[in-house]
Amino acid sequence: MAENSDQQNFSEDGKAEFTELDWITLKSDINSATLEVQETAGAKFNRKFKENPFVPIGCGLTAAALCYGLYSFSKGNTRTSQVMMRYRVAAQGFTVLALMFGIVKSMK
């Protein structure tokens, strides 16, 4: 008895066996579904920023304090460099607290 390649075959234990053409169809369905779900980096950043805006702000403050502190250190202004490193630690603490707040907020 000839079987149609478009239909699933069932083995003795009742599990479906797919033919080669079924796998091609399944693969194209999966690829088309994943293409619809993917988002760009800008869209992802905007979505994450709307969910918890304090995390990127804290990251920006941390980076700014670090860069200015390193710049001051390279120019020999050790007092400003030390103050900026303290600001950097404070900004990192703010960022960690913002992350924790976001996790608690998403759990509720």
pLDDT in tens, 53-106: 999 999 999 999 999 999 999 999 999 999 999 999 999 999 999 999 999 988
So what's the pLDDT on residue 35? 53
Decide which of 2 and 37 is more confident. Answer: 37
Alpha carbons 53 and 50: distance in angstroms, whole number: 6
Quote the pTM value. Answer: 0.61
Confidence at 36, pLDDT banded by 50, 70, 90? low
So what's the pLDDT on residue 5? 47
Q: Which of 19-23, 30-34, 45-49 has the highest mean pLDDT?
A: 45-49
And the tokens for 65?
């304090």
DSSP lists the bridge partners of residue 17 as 9
Decide which of 9 and 50 is more confident. Answer: 50
